[in-house]
Structure 1
């Protein structure tokens, strides 16, 4: 008899709950309860509201109605004027459930919560001119939030950097932002889309989406009736995604359609492939054109460099010819003197003064040979690197421009604070010094510098070249710093330094130009 009774109860239970498996205790609870009382947020469109006729409507209302139908039990609305009053009625047990709210520690003092009934991300809303906010914790702004809401509670705790402005409703929060009385507000994605469209508030926009602050909306149940929570959970678990989508589509126009046909997928794939092919072809043609232009520019640049080099060689040959003239004049003079002494049959073998003349002549010949060797080394193309001393490298260049230096009366001082040696192409570095010396000589003549001076400081990691020739003009210095100068000298020097992992800083000092070469390593 007992078994028959249990089977009978099970059949009644199945019929009564439309496939919701309630146990005997839960069935008896619903029979005795007959009506579940409910408080809601009377002004929270499109989730829920109490209309002028006193009826509950919105997304939450439709979901509650669905639960009511599945459980075959009446859920009665308890009228309230605002959310604060609904919270108060819930605390005073005037209603068994709160329809749609987030689970918070504070609310657990008098409520227990069902499983998630509805998920919706919260978004930050601000005026259209405000930039997107990546991290709200780094902003010192004011935010309008409705009182007694889960997000107001969490934001006050998690973001002490924000100034929270409490409001009586979400519409009021929107209005404060619209009127620039608050910087932003937080609202669910669905409510935001609904409100902006409904009220035509197009000067507001979504400016952020804080992670971890989504709305996981549940039904809040009186803490002293956990059985009701368990019954509601069984009904919630029977609600399908299709049920929820159908309800949402009644209230908002944000519809996410994920289904597509195989043909549409093929068309999309074909379009993407064509687009990729066009982009690849365009990139190939563009790269080819760029390479040709680079090759053309390199050829032109090489021609200009060769022209510059030939001009330098012409100048150096002029310097060497002057130096050789002096030496040849001295040798010729000594030769004439020897002829004369021979004709006069004088004893020049034991003549001490004549011996000194011979030594001077020998030095002149040696100087001429050194000068020519230096010139030949400079002109010779070298690709190999060798270790050399910077001071010696500079002195070799000074031999090439010795005549110009003497004619210009330039005082050159080399201060070697460190015996700097580098491994590089020695001839290329000679070009750097030659360019600096010739530029200084030319500008000292143009500006009529009375006592032109050059000072070179050789340190462990840098070489500083300074002169007293009044420096670069502002417009010329600007073109040099922007790498727009027409002259090749500094461009070539910069390229040589860059190749050797050195840098160059060009600036003006109080008295003239200051050029710093520095090791980047």
Structure 2
């Protein structure tokens, strides 16, 4: 756990990575002598000033988001909005030990509170089922993060989604996950009871065997004990749960072409509340939203009360009052020490920026091959769809899978398989155009996004790539072949539909004999 500790204030702040296992036990200290209380006081004040600079969102004022007079009158009369929060879905949603709202959604709702000019309070909720029950009985005005469904629309209105989460799969290290195993004989996967993802999974994988559990802790324990093959949940949230529970045998070993589309839901008997939240979401600053996502997905910031420092600070203040007549004598020396401390703080801030850049790079990079991972590909694909709709330009994608790669692992072992995956990734990077984006989709599958490319052009590129792979000599004089599916984006087509089409094209290439290109 990488931390920076500020000693000398009434609290202790530290930064903790929410994703990745590579950085452990690195602690950056600014330690103040226990003997010099005056210095501790100044460091407390300076550290607080820096924290304010590093969190400018807290100082932002509300802005005009186009509310009608009816909406303004409604909110003025409402005054307080009851926000129901899933207590067990950090880092995205949760409550702390004091029953206060925390997580990524809390930062968004701070912004909504400023925009709408109302106070947000969090009623006590036991679990997700209790949350839905309270929403039905109107004990909640708002649900902070939820997927829309026809059943839920009977008592809730839904805004435009403001956050997207792909589905990830957690297994033990000794089990290899591929998408085909979702419907394997006797294979079971844990899911949270009532999760909207259950319907998505059963629609895409009709034969899947799902074990519904109460929360992610129970799900992780079932996976850890080998009672189920894996756990399917929100990417980022499952990684956070693995680290929080310190389950070293578990890892996120795959992801699925499905995702949560999280909206704010409001009680549908007060439509003005829903229309006001819709306007707040549409007026979110994209940079502020990205800052919130970077904060909670790359690092989690925790505030830990340190009452010893509080008492010491009070003692410092009392001492300063008693010896104030002698202060001028030591002023020059104190100023010099303050300058030294400021320099130390600047150095630590620079190191924190470097660490944050590293965490962000790790969060979008596949650990084995060094190319983009599924999370980054999902973001780039969503951007490509929006750009295509805005500019009316075409783009295409290629989904390719190494043929019979399981036989390579079975015959030569996973170490050889890993080396071949690295070499295969390097070949793809060297073979594509500068404008193309390539990443590991999962297992031995790779995805290439080709901007400003129609179906015919992308098909030619895929065929050239297929030939180059077949003619390439990989480490150990091994020869690999690949099957490729190609699809062009159609106007107003969502990403999951496009992925489903190219996935079917890849499956057709496999079925027709492998080592070929098919279009979808």
TM-score by length of 2: 0.44
Does 1 or 2 have the higher relative contact order (CA < 8 Å, sep 6+)?
2
TM-score by length of 1: 0.44
Larger radius of gyration: 1
